[in-house]
Homo-oligomer: A and B are copies of this chain.
Amino acid sequence: MRITRLYVTHDLAAEGSVGLSPSQAHYLSHVLRLKRGDPVHLFNGRDGEWQGDVDALGRGWCSVEVRAQTRPQPALDGGDLWLVFAPVKRARIDFIAAKATELGAAALWPVMSEHTAVGRVNADRLHANAIEAAEQCGRLTVPEILEPESLRGALARWPDGRRLLYCDESGGGAPIAEVLEAARGEAAQGWAVLTGPEGGFARAELDALANLSISTPVSLGPRILRADTAAIAALACWQAVLGDWRQTRIKSAQPAS
């Protein structure tokens, strides 16, 4: 059985004791029915992964005795890849947060474009979905959730040197594999994938994107993809061609069996 992995905010070090949140305590005691002495893995995005065991468990609380580090903290956990996306409705945005985490995104940045139908983004909910996915997929980091803002605002303060691939539904992009293959060996200061809302980008937005010196329009083929499909597909292609999918697979946890 796979050992349960939990994200905590506390520092982690040998011989320490860590208190879990009420919902984590509930999950361990009522869903998994763990008992005193049962093993768990903890990570906080800073100190690597640690094996610990349940020390004491009560109604709404649980303390874990931290034993030994099982993996050191990597500098980056999936490459310096951001997903910048026009938010979509509830189930699909949850889904984007979870999948982007599995696919190794370092940050998630909701941006409001002209055709974005969603007015407000629940950043806490994005964060919770990202944490859950990070726990399950074996990551040692949780993607940072960047403050939602307008697409225009995001482009105006776009970080120097961060390459931006935007999924252009209007037909202006080059095939994504060609763009990624051509970029192998290039020294970019990070990357970002930008996907639009269900209605696509507005003409003025495409113009603003094209004017950014560091941006490249890419095509995801002749079919019209849903916004969530486009985000997942573009991240997967990036990891496959430029990211850590190129490396030999190193198992980060035991498969369930």
User: Closest B-chain residue to A223, C-beta based?
Assistant: B137
User: Closest B-chain residue to A245, C-beta based?
Assistant: B221
User: Closest B-chain residue to A134, C-beta based?
Assistant: B223
93-135 of chain A: CB within 8 A of chain B: 95, 98-99, 102-104, 115
Beyond A176-B240, A220-B240, A221-B247, 8 additional contacts (C-beta under 8 Å) are: A99-B232, A115-B257, A137-B223, A171-B248, A175-B247, A200-B255, A219-B249, A240-B240
Of A198, A200, A252, A255, the most chain B CB neighbours within 10 A belong to A255
Q: How far is the CA of A236 from the CA of B234 in the complex (A)?
A: 8
User: Closest B-chain residue to A74, C-beta based?
Assistant: B222
Q: How far is the CA of A169 from the CA of B253 in the complex (A)?
A: 11
User: Closest B-chain residue to A171, C-beta based?
Assistant: B249
Interface string of A218-238 (1 = CB under 8 A from B): 011111111001001110110
Q: How far is the CA of A170 from the CA of B253 in the complex (A)?
A: 10
Whether a CB of chain B sits under 8 angstroms from the CB of A177 is yes
Question: Could you list 25 examples of A-B contacts with CB < 8 Å?
Answer: A102-B225, A102-B226, A104-B221, A115-B256, A137-B225, A137-B226, A138-B222, A138-B224, A170-B251, A177-B246, A178-B246, A219-B245, A220-B236, A221-B244, A222-B247, A222-B250, A222-B252, A224-B255, A232-B236, A233-B236, A233-B239, A233-B240, A234-B236, A236-B237, A240-B240
A177 near B241: Cβ-Cβ < 8 Å: yes
A245 near B220: Cβ-Cβ < 8 Å: yes
Q: Mostly helix, strand, loop or mixed at chain A's interface?
A: loop
Query: How many chain A residues have a CB neighbour from B under 8 Å?
Result: 57
The minimal Cβ–Cβ distance linking A45 to chain B, given in whole angstroms, is: 15
